Chains A and B, each alone.
Chain A
Amino acid sequence: MSAVATPGEPAGTGQLPAARHAAQERAAPMPRGRRQTELAMLVFAVGVVLLAYANAGLGLNGHIPSGLITYGIGFAVLVGIAHVAVRRLAPWADPLLLPLAALLNGLGLVMIYRLQESGRSGNPGNVISTMTASTATFQLVWSALGIAAFVGVLALIREPRVLQRYTYTLGAVGLALLALPAVLPSRFSEVPGTTAKIQVAVGGFSIQPEEFAKLALAVFFAGYLVAKRDVLALAGRRVLGIDLPRGRDLGPVLIAWGASLLVLVFEGDVGTSALFFGLFVVMLYIATQRTSWLLIGGILFVAGSLIAAKLFSHVGVRFTIWLHAFSGNNPYNISYQTVQGLYGLGYGGVLGTGLGHGQPYWTPLVQSDFIITAFGEELGLTGLMAILLIYGLIVQRGLRASMAVRDPFSKLLAGGLSFVIALQVFVIVGGVTRLIPLTGITTPFLSQGGSSLVASWMLIALLMRVSDTARRPAPQPIQEEGMTQVVRGG
């Protein structure tokens, strides 16, 4: 913590002793863990998911899916395990994060099931060629692995600060994971049907290392910035009312910028590049509180994107699709996927067609990058706004934990992780709804694909760990020795 008292936290000085005493009296009752609230919310989330699952089956062929009981029990058990783990490992954690994540994961499973069933066994619609009859089952297995990873993170990392020890190790791991697909031959790393080299595929089993690199690099940024933030924040000159950093302090920013551009160029993955750079700049800003970093970062990013758009056709075409989606032959050609997604959203309208009643199968890769358009089509504007609000709530709970925790490393890590969810949702949802140029990244918890799901669960685990630390009551004095003051950490 900096020496200056941060606004919003009770300052230790300047209050009358009586008032301070009163404040302590109020804090004295044990804060509640709110695990019962979490359980109630989880029951609600599982109920919503099961209703949606039944609804999808009824919409498709008029029958409740035969797997409702098995899958329902399976999903409920998974969520139950996560809840028990939280009770034991992070009893003070925020009660909303787990139910919100479970709800999104469950809705994603339902939509993937609905898309997989399209055109199969007599259901209306086209078979989506990029999905098999067991895609949803695989996704459920991935959900189980995700929840296992969630429990694993909670079990292994009992204090967020322990991660600070591995700052540079995790930084190296993150960069290696990020660079891995670029150095591998295309046949291992290229996503079929695209030019993006973002995965490692061996024998039909593929993972996207960038999803885990995101977490490792967030830890690295947090550790690095906590160590360097004073020099980054204080040294520098003031030009035109903006504090500019020293030239030598620009190094890390330029390295991060360069790394994100390399990802962009060698892996053809604009979305991930934007995500990493955005994550770094925002964490830099949180650490230093200097607006100039945001400005410098923003200028570098825009300049980098524009130069990349001019130099690399696969980046330039994103801008063409964004600006001229409906012009000329574009809807049948380069902007086909985008306009199909928009047609889906328009077809759904305000109230949606209902699960199973839309035609999301027209949109290529609707189960991954464009899954939000399938929700928009079948659940309508209403359902889509609800989903966006769920994401918003997760971000809000994460930022709240970040503000409440005292340790600067945890604060920075939670802030960065929360913002990266917001940024990821903004980039993908903004992309498919044509608010910004489309860059293909996964929609957290919803998109088909295991790496993203497991990484998202790990991210939620980290946020809950920070939240648990923040809300854990201060250790009670062992002996009551008069007015001995407990010095609280931070």
Chain B
Amino acid sequence: MNHALRRVSLVALAMFLLLLLNVNYVQAFEPSFLAGQRGNARVFAEQFQYQRGSIITADNKTMAESVHRQGIYSYQRVYPDPLVYAPVTGYDSIYSSTGIEETEDKYLAGTDPKLTVHNLIDLVTGKPKRGATVQLTINSVAQQAAYDALKATGLPSGVVAIQPSTGAILALASYPTFNPNKYATFDGTQLKNIDDRYRASPQQPLLNRAIDQTFPPGSTFKIVTSSTAFSNGGYNPDTRVYAPTNLKLPHTTNQLINFDNSPCNDGSNPTGNGKVPLIFAFTVSCNTVFGNLGMHLGDNPLRAQAGKFGMNNPNLNIPLPVAQSNYPPIPGNDPALTAYSAIGQYNDTVTPLQEAMFAAAIANNGNLMTPYLVQRVTAPDLTPLVTAQPASMGQAVTPQVAGEVARMMVSVVQSTDGTAHTVVTSGTSYTVAAKTGTAQNGIKNTQLDDAVFTCYAPVTNPQIAIGVIVKGGGLGADASAPVAVKIIQAYLSSLAKR
């Protein structure tokens, strides 16, 4: 029987050899295939085994951080002030991320090649791997004021505040918004429920109205029309321009009228068929004057000027991608449509960020700075990895033209006739230059008007430029201007305290 036993031994040996070969294959050759499989919970959970970097404001307030917890996932993402900062930070869920969490993920997660050496040192010294800290340009005072002011309107709205001299974004808020903490759950079912609920909500809380949605600019576009006139039309703020009560438009029975069908009369135009200085028309926001001016200037120069202010740019990233603000070509060069476009109607659309960029360019002597959010990225050992370098997008207008537009914007606030006079002077002691807009909306203006406002302050040494749009807010001065005024008051007084 020993002969058979020897054979059986060989069979047993062969079985063990097969097992050994197979485990060698599975554990030495297959791991990368296995790690790449969707649904590999181990690899997935590993990313929550180390601390993701924090996102902090320019004044070192934490917007997002990972805190240690018990369980499979060692770190929980926490947003201490979720509603205020949601449009900036976005969320980081187990399946996807948005906002800065998405665009700066390689730093926050520590996967960027710049962090490889740091990670290697940590591995050797036995320190746990950590993500880099991302510091934004956001100022917590301005951001808080922005969110509170939008919330006070109770209407869908967005606001962006920029430092004119650098392009650094001081505040970027949207209302209604979402709670990113709810996305930080590790419970897949719970996550799906919350995501479904947000997506189905008619309030569209996930929509970032500051940069993702565009609205008609309304009369704020008169900044662009004026800039075009000053730059290539031989105009200045004191040029007297035709100011009819009703502007007859070519090839159509439609007539362009002023708000509430009022005349454009500074006292020198009693007939409603004479002329007024351009600065007066700007201050009280006469549609007929700028419609007529737009037809004279022509569609192409207007579009070129709009482009210099940053419109028609599909590739603006701050680094969050920004929806394109449009001044589209006018079919058949129809002068009537050009007239509407010149007052920010027809197909003109802008984001609140674009509104802020109008004011910022004027405030910075015509030099439009590229807006940006990320100030610096710091490795866990405090080595700086990235530091923002402010860059110009180009000269929107000459310094002289910027000065002329600025003079008109100051008049909007300081002249007793100005559309923003009451609301701004009663709300802040700082000097403000502004332009209001009331954008008609919907087919045959069936929807409530959108309130639009763009401004900068202080007038002599501009520190902040703001664009606000409140959907369905009515007059720009009524709904949007108070938002900007509150931000200016809060931010500039916090600067003064420092």
Contact = CB atoms under 8 A, between A and B. Distances in A.
B15 A422 contact: yes
Contacts of B15: 422-423, 425-426, 430
A124 B30 CA distance: 26
Contact of A359 (B9, B26, B42): B42
B189 interface: no
Interface in B28-79: 28, 30-31, 33-35, 37-43, 45, 70-72, 74
A399 B9 contact: yes
B3 A289 contact: yes
A467 interface: no
Interface string A389-421: 101100110010011000010011001001100
A349 B28 contact: yes
Interface stretch (A109-117, A210-218, A377-385): A377-385
A346 interface: yes
A323 B383 CA distance: 51
Interface residues of A, number: 63
B2 A6 contact: yes
Contact of B27 (A124, A345, A399): A345
Interface stretch (A34-42, A198-206, A335-343, A457-465): A335-343
Given A125-B72, A396-B9, A348 B1 contact: no
B3 A6 contact: yes
A399 B3 contact: no
Interface in B389-412: none
A381 B41 contact: no
A435 B40 CA distance: 20
A422 B22 CA distance: 16
Given A350-B28, A430-B18, A419 B12 contact: yes
A375 to B, nearest CB: 10
B42 A362 contact: yes
A434 interface: yes
Contact of A332 (B12, B39, B45): B39
B416 to A, nearest CB: 69
Given A331-B37, A399-B9, A430-B22, A347 B31 contact: yes
Nearest to B32: A346
Given A347-B43, A399-B9, A433-B19, A381 B70 contact: no
Interface in A330-369: 331-332, 339-340, 342-350, 358-359, 361-362
B23 A346 contact: no
Nearest to A349: B31
A124 B74 contact: yes
A287 interface: yes
B5 interface: yes
B16 interface: yes
A411 B5 contact: yes
Contacts of B37: 326, 331, 339, 343
Contacts of B18: 426, 430, 435
A445 interface: no
Contact of A381 (B3, B24, B39): B24
Nearest to B49: A124
Interface string B100-139: 0000000000000000000000000000000000000000
A360 to B, nearest CB: 9
A228 to B, nearest CB: 14
A425 B43 contact: no
A289 B6 CA distance: 11
B3 A346 contact: no
B388 interface: no
Contact of B41 (A122, A282, A359): A359
A468 to B, nearest CB: 18
B16 A391 contact: yes
A433 B26 contact: yes
Contacts of B8: 282, 285-286, 399, 415, 419
A402 B5 contact: yes
Interface string B425-444: 00000000000000000000
A6 B2 CA distance: 7
A399 B19 contact: no
B4 A286 contact: yes
B2 A9 contact: yes
A389 B24 CA distance: 14
B20 interface: yes
A7 B1 contact: no
Given A122-B70, A282-B8, A344 B42 contact: yes
B425 to A, nearest CB: 60
Contacts of B20: 385, 388
Which of A7, A346, A423, A435 is most buried by chain B, counting CB atoms within 10 A of its CB?
A346
B247 to A, nearest CB: 66
A385 B70 contact: no
A433 B22 contact: yes
A358 B15 CA distance: 28
A376 interface: yes
B318 to A, nearest CB: 38
A362 B38 CA distance: 14
Q: Which residue, of B13, B19, B45, has the highest number of chain A Cβ atoms within 10 A?
A: B19
A252 interface: no
A8 interface: yes
Contacts of B38: 331
A282 to B, nearest CB: 6
9 contacts: A7-B3, A9-B2, A124-B74, A285-B4, A286-B4, A343-B43, A399-B5, A433-B19, A434-B22
Given A346-B31, A426-B19, 12 more contacts: A9-B2, A124-B70, A125-B72, A282-B8, A287-B4, A288-B4, A326-B37, A339-B39, A358-B42, A359-B41, A423-B15, A435-B22
Closest 6 pairs (CB-CB, A-B): A346-B34, A381-B27, A346-B31, A422-B12, A426-B15, A435-B22
